[in-house]
Amino acid sequence: MGRRLEVCVDNAAGLKTAVSAGADRIELCSALLLGGLTPSPGLMAIAAEASVPVFAMVRPRPGNFVYGLDDLRQMVADIEAIRAFGLAGMVIGANAEDGTLDRFTLSRLIEAADGLPAVLHRAIDLTPDPVAAVDVAVDLGFSRILTSGGKPTAIEGRHTIAAMQAQAAGRIEILPGSGLTPENVYLLLESVADVDVHASCSIPRLEPVERASAQSFDVPGCRQTDADLVRAMKAQIARSPG
């Protein structure tokens, strides 16, 4: 099987567009403008009908990934919902105060998942040493790591991503993501071979939002999944080296 494309979406329309345009896997969120939060039960229910695997984000609030006990309780309840809807897996992450991965919180979340596959999100990019953190992710039982190599974009962090893949040594999948487009993904794939790709494949939302914005119901910067970008990304990763 060739490289797969995972598309992150935060609404039902984006989910439908991504799947129909050829996305191989979905990361399901709400509020991608905030980096992705836990999707609603209603969106999970719709996603459960998708023809491709759907992994749901578990992130209770914007900001950092340092969580207290109340956050943990909320996240456990969200994981129970993900399992109840029959989604393919969950996407989680947590940092300790010193930036390292929070083994306590992550182990509790994985225990709550009761065998549901777990993906470690870009909390690993906030650690002091993302390469060393790969071993922690393996020890905790994660199946995949989403990473930009500790940089704002995967292109900037591609050499660290390559080092993370070498550290993984086949024990865990490394999934590059952040800022990848059909125009730049080849730069990543020149440095990191045999990886899937994570992208939003989105464009600025086109419909008028003036009245909603005037009442603070909308904010600038919202985007929408674009079918042409999904297809272009699929084509580009299929022809790229590695």
Mean pLDDT by 10 residues, the chain (242 residues): 89 97 98 95 98 98 97 98 97 98 98 96 98 98 98 98 97 97 95 94 75 63 92 93 63
- The CA-atom distances, in angstroms, between 134 and each of 44, 62, 170, 188 are 29, 24, 11, 19
pLDDT for position 50? 98
Angle (CA) 29-32-33 rounded to 5° is: 155
Q: Domain 5-239 carries which CATH code? A: 3.20.20.380
pLDDT for position 38? 98
Domain segments of the chain as ranges: 5-239
pLDDT for position 161? 98
pLDDT for position 180? 97
pLDDT for position 193? 85
| Residues in CB range of 224: below 8 A, 6 or more apart | 13, 14, 17, 202, 203, 204, 205, 206
pLDDT for position 17? 98
pLDDT for position 205? 77
pLDDT for position 210? 62
Strand partners, 101: 95
